[in-house]
Amino acid sequence: MREASTQYAKGPAGFYDFEDDEQYLASPLKIVDCGDADILQGDLDYSFQSIEYAVRKIIENGTIPIIMGGDHSITIPVGRALESVGEKVSIIQFDAHLDWTDHVGPQSYGNGSPMRRLSEMDHIDKMVQIGLRGIGSGKRSDYMDAKNYGSQLISAREAHEIGVEGVLKKIPKADKYFISFDIDGYDMSIAPGVASPYPGGLFYDQVMDIFKGICKMGKIVGIDMVEVAPNTILPALQ
């Protein structure tokens, strides 16, 4: 993702988008690569502390963190760091999966648990989950817990049926939003290199229009993109 992003490193002039008739990424806006969080393989606590520390520092500096994972468990320490925003933050998740698993054996901080863990944080407010589909996304009790929390669940099928404006109408108004984007929220035809590819997902223009709509509703205080796993497509290409 870093290598691909270098094509947009054009300096202060930015880019002209003829469809929007807007100049994007122009001065005084600036994107800075802050490097990697200090991850220690096998030590979840240390790794989570490093992620939380780095994201808190970025927020406290008055900037917007855009975090590239990593599996979806990294959203847990990122969510903890959102406390530095100083206000309640609403979560918008794009994902094929619910991610409300309480635990797998003794593991409560895995990639299937981030939304449940976020729901337990006092500074996290409303939640919307877009793109859900397929069996295996969660137990019935997980769905019931998410609904009891007040999470707005929008399946990929429903998103296709009601369109961008319909999805935006279902997103509760909030002052601050954090967007957590699991790449498998996209349809596998455009994002096959993910940990859990599944058909029937969202499409690029559809998601970008939802993003633009959210930006008009409130302030985006951070974004993460997780579960990018391009090596998973290699066997199919050989």
- The answer to whether residue 10 is domain-embedded is no
Average pLDDT over residues 109-137: 94
**Amino acid 195: pLDDT:** 84
Q: Which residues contact 41 (CB under 8 A, 6 or more apart)?
A: none
Distance set, CA 171 to CA 58, 72, 93, 100, 165 (Å): 27, 22, 11, 19, 10
Q: Which two tokens stand for residue 115?
A: 């939304």
**Amino acid 137: pLDDT:** 75
**Amino acid 25: pLDDT:** 85
- Split at pLDDT 50, 70, 90, the class of 135 is confident
Cα torsion 214, 94, 41, 33: sign: negative
Q: Which two tokens stand for residue 132?
A: 């859900």
- The answer to whether residue 38 is domain-embedded is no
**Structure-model confidence comparison of residues 10 and 52, the more confident one:** 52
Does a cis peptide bond (omega within 30 degrees of 0) precede residue 70? yes
- The answer to whether residue 233 is domain-embedded is yes
Q: Which of 35-44, 128-137, 225-234 has the lowest mean pLDDT?
A: 225-234
Average pLDDT, the chain: 92
- The answer to whether residue 46 is domain-embedded is no
- The answer to whether residue 105 is domain-embedded is yes
Domain count along the chain: 1
**Amino acid 184: pLDDT:** 95
- Split at pLDDT 50, 70, 90, the class of 232 is low
- The answer to whether residue 35 is domain-embedded is no
74 pLDDT more than 70:
yes
The residue behind tokens 């930015």 is: 14
Q: Which two tokens stand for residue 68?
A: 């590239």
- Split at pLDDT 50, 70, 90, the class of 94 is very high
Q: How far apart are CA 56 and CA 85, in angstroms?
A: 9
- The answer to whether residue 155 is domain-embedded is yes
3-state secondary structure of 73: helix
The count of C-alpha atoms lying within 13 angstroms of the C-alpha of 14, restricted to the half-sphere facing its C-beta, is 14
**Amino acid 237: pLDDT:** 45
Q: What does the pLDDT look like over 142-195, one tens digit per residue? A: 999 999 999 999 999 999 999 999 999 999 999 999 999 999 999 999 999 998
Amino acid at 189: S
Tell me the pairing of strands 219-226 and 89-94. unpaired
In the chain, the percentage of residues whose pLDDT exceeds 70 is 97
Average pLDDT over residues 23-28: 89
Range of the domain at 139: 65-237
**Amino acid 95: pLDDT:** 97
Q: How far apart are CA 203 and CA 207, in angstroms?
A: 6
Average pLDDT over residues 60-68: 96
**Amino acid 238: pLDDT:** 47
Average pLDDT over residues 224-232: 86
What CATH number has the domain bearing residue 204? Answer: 3.40.800.10
Tell me the pairing of strands 15-17 and 22-24. antiparallel
- The answer to whether residue 19 is domain-embedded is no
pTM of the model: 0.93
